[in-house]
A = this chain, B = another copy of it.
Amino acid sequence: MPIADAVKKAQESGSWIRKMFEEGAALKKQYGADRVYDFSIGNPDIEPPPAFHRTLVQLATEDAPGSHGYMANVGFTEVREAMAQKASRDHQVQIDGSHVVMCVGAAGGLNVVLKAILNAGDEVVVPTPYFVEYGSYISNHGGKMVLVPSAPDFDLDVGAITAALTEKTAAVIINSPHNPTGRIYPGRTIQALAEALRRHGAQTGRYPYLIADEPYREIVYEHRQVAPVLSAYEESILVTSFSKTLSLPGERIGYIAVGPRLSNKQEMVGALAYATRVLGFVNAPALMQRVVAQLTDAQVDVSIYARRRDAFKEVLDKAGIPYVEPEGAFYLFCQVPARRHGPAVAADSATPIDVQFVNHLKDHLILAVPGTGFGDSGYFRLAYCVDESIIRNSAGAFQKAMESW
């Protein structure tokens, strides 16, 4: 019997990230894991910090009565309070636990927020390149994604975003540090965006929500600061998780925090609780809620990612592949190099150039994700969630690949 048409269609186009992840698994089976250079998926391989292990064992051992039972859909009160303190520090606002809804990772949180705010046909503005799953999250709840190119340096193009706003714009989603470019948007950019949204709101009567998707906030280099969003714009909503900060992506634990000056704050928290319930999350996993509440100051050792980044830059420099300097997150967004050795690519080729190049890399057992998977076909993404030795050992393969491209 049939599956849903939309699901069938979406599966055929598929997620490039997951596709490469699965092809990688097949290649490793064929050639041996140590011969495949898999830079496809952003699956943090650094172990959670020691404090995580201690807290997990402690809470598992205590196993307080009722600790695995239902709580309010928004989460445990003391956990929400801990998250509010963290969000207050990060975003330079004063919020309390009543502003927070615990969620099943940031992906769950984004679905909850979009369910809570979208009417059929509402538009959500997303700057490109972008995490391609946003498209599914938006269409899940009847919304329409409006893609807006970023500036050439991959900062937000506030002018372009402004031009894309309409009376149907329900929200703008930003992601800083950014997947796949590693950019951190400067404070002045966030301010300019806030002003543009305010102007649009004053003109149309509808102030778009600004959704800040921030799972990489703690993964930053050279002690960079990620600009606050909740303090910059009234109608803003933070969605984040501990997947990257604590290397817990499989545990699905994160939180949503609404800005202190959101116009209908209480109604919004009610709607988020409702969406959490009816989408079937019901609540964020109980044990992990209590674990992360004790770990709001902990994080993985980012210097490991920094060393890998630097090693990778060397490899790419040597191979002659240009890339965006990552300020945060753990991705290198690289330009597809000009073709020199292989046959020239016809402009009307059905296969985008980035997909061709990624396929070419795959012939050299290097796995990357084509920029097409992020709405930007001139690029490809390398995730450095792998041991530094794999990065260093890939140098020869990259050079060989370039010699025949």
Residues of A within 8 A of B (CB): 1-8, 10-11, 15, 18, 41, 43-45, 47-48, 53, 56-57, 60-61, 63, 65-71, 73, 104-105, 107-112, 115-119, 133, 136-137, 140-141, 206-209, 235, 247-252, 262-264, 267-268, 270-271, 274-275, 277-288
Residue of A7, A63, A263, A287 contacting most chain B CB atoms (<10 Å):
A7
Q: What are 30 A-B residue pairs whose CB atoms fall within 8 Å in the complex?
A: A1-B117, A1-B206, A1-B207, A1-B263, A1-B264, A2-B119, A2-B264, A3-B116, A3-B264, A3-B267, A7-B115, A7-B275, A11-B270, A15-B277, A48-B68, A53-B63, A57-B57, A60-B61, A68-B249, A68-B250, A69-B247, A69-B249, A69-B250, A104-B252, A107-B281, A108-B281, A111-B280, A115-B140, A137-B280, A251-B285
The 3 closest A-B pairs by CB, nearest first: A250-B286, A136-B278, A111-B280
A283 to B251, CA, bound (A): 8
Taking A8-B267, A287-B288 as known contacts, 14 extra A-B pairs with beta carbons closer than 8 A to each other, sorted by chain A number, are A3-B264, A4-B117, A7-B271, A7-B275, A10-B278, A11-B271, A18-B73, A69-B249, A70-B249, A70-B250, A104-B282, A115-B140, A140-B278, A250-B286
Contact A68 B251 (CB under 8 A): yes
Which residues from B are CB-within-8-Å of A107? 280-282
Tell whether A137 pairs with B206 under 8 Å between CB atoms, given A45-B66, A116-B4. no
